[in-house]
Amino acid sequence: MKPSSSRIKNIASTGGREVLKIGPDVHYMGTGTIQFDTFEHIHQAGIRAIEADYVGYTDNVGLLSLREAIAEKLANENHVHYDPDEILVTSGSSEILSAIPHAFMEPGDEAIMFDPHYIGHFSAIVELASGIPIILPTNGDNNWQPDLEMVEAAVTPRTKLLFMVSPSNPVGSALSEESVRGLCEIAIKHDLYVIADELYERIMFDGKKVISPASLPGMRERTFTINGFSKAYGMTGWRVGYMGAPRELLQPVHRARLYVGICAPSISQYAALAALTGPQEPLAAMLSELDRRRHYLCSHLSAIEGIHAPLQDGTFYSFVDVREFMREKGDKVRKVLLSEVEGYEIPDSIAQQFTDFMIVRGRVYLSPGSSFGTAGEGWFRVSGASYMDHLQKGIERIEEAAASIL
């Protein structure tokens, strides 16, 4: 049988290296699905759509009423003004993100993005379009802000796209105003398109706000503003995302995605409309609870000797520094792995060593930072999306495993 495409074979997966079996007794703390029920008024809107038999195709670009509500949201909250026909609704934001490189990149064109990043998505969608991801490192000691001089130096005549993800999965940091303005200046200077992924922009803490690049002078005409309903409204399975962009940018993207997704699910679009236009008090309550979980995770993890868990700006992920822990106790960690896992081979990544140790000794799964790029080495990602009792059980296992090698 003939082989699959070489593009597929060379694309990185979303996870790290699979060395250890993650059995049912391993406590999973890596979920990207928020553990809140979809708000009741959204449920009811979906039910009413089914009962009214609104189950056929919608307009390819989405329900007009939903696009009008999205345009109003973007104007009021993000200070970006689009007409409803400059809004594209799709089956999740991933569909739009995947379509943009196909619509705007020629083979060999380059896209700049920042490490750590969601490897199984951003770099992969560029590679699938025969583009080249240019991945620039960031640093946790600088709250993962990009080095603007490094970005400027990375631009070549083949650079076409610049990714601006804020706040970011996996690190939880938002781009500062200085970073946003600096990146926008580079984009204007070199005539780059900007993909502004703002999927988590409503999950921000301590009064911080996301600055939408398209709201700045000279940026609306070159920016794809992308968002969705999965994270803020607990609607991961409903599959509704959207993009705001000028018509001349939107139409090529629409053509690129039309043949893989005719329209977003009709029932889900009615539910998404209710999410935007209905009561927002459940969202505020959810944010308050996520903030409580964020403080719980970071305070308890930071209390473990050698582990540092800074409070993130947004998202429900915490990115945790174990470099000191591994400097002091790495030999003991590796000894446990070699003695308790038959045939175990020590990986180069200390982040992977640490998370493997937590599976073996703590029976808890954490995502190694190195699975999100080389800049994540020495860190791990933990999700605060689960219920508090689930988080407490996981923290207890982490504390016990760490204490076992003191």
- Three-class secondary structure of residue 89 per DSSP: strand
pLDDT band at 257 (very low <50, low <70, confident <90, very high): very high
Q: Length of the chain, please?
A: 406
What order do you get walking across the sheet with 241-244 strand by strand?
Answer: 87-90, 241-244, 223-228, 193-197, 159-165, 110-115, 132-137
Q: How far apart are CA 157 and CA 141, in angstroms?
A: 32
| Confidence at residue 30, expressed as pLDDT on a 0 to 100 scale | 84
Q: How many CA atoms are closer than 13 Å to the CA of 322, on its beta-carbon side? A: 32
pLDDT at residue 163 above 70? yes
Question: 0.85 exceeded by the pTM?
Answer: yes
Q: How far apart are CA 380 and CA 318, in angstroms?
A: 8
359 close to 22: Cβ distance less than 8 angstroms: yes
Parallel, antiparallel or unpaired: strands 159-165 and 110-115: parallel
Task: Name the CA radius of gyration of the chain, rounded.
Answer: 22
Mean pLDDT, residues 258-283 taken together: 95
Q: What residue type is 53 in one-letter code? A: D
Q: How many CA atoms are closer than 13 Å to the CA of 362, on its beta-carbon side? A: 26
CA neighbor of 220 nearest in space, from 257, 247, 254, 182: 247
> CA 305, 310, 315, 319: dihedral to nearest 10 degrees?
-50
Cα dist. 156→134, 159, 213 in Å? Answer: 10, 5, 22
pLDDT band at 10 (very low <50, low <70, confident <90, very high): low
Q: What angle do CA 294, 298, 300 make, to 5 degrees?
A: 120
**In the structure encoding, which two tokens stand for residue 231, read together?**
């994270």
pLDDT digits (tens, 9 = 90+) for 196-228: 999 999 999 999 999 999 999 999 999 999 999
pLDDT digits (tens, 9 = 90+) for 358-378: 999 999 999 999 999 999 999
Q: Which domains does the chain have, with CATH numbers?
A: 6-30+282-403 (3.90.1150.10), 40-277 (3.40.640.10)
Q: How far apart are CA 166 and CA 205, in angstroms?
A: 13
Classify burial at 8, counting beta carbons within 10 Å of its beta carbon; exposed 0-12, middle 13-18, buried 19 or more. exposed
Q: What residue type is 371 in one-letter code? A: S
pLDDT at residue 13 above 70? no
pLDDT digits (tens, 9 = 90+) for 97-110: 999 999 999 999 99
Mean pLDDT computed over every residue of the chain: 93
| Confidence at residue 33, expressed as pLDDT on a 0 to 100 scale | 74
| Confidence at residue 17, expressed as pLDDT on a 0 to 100 scale | 44
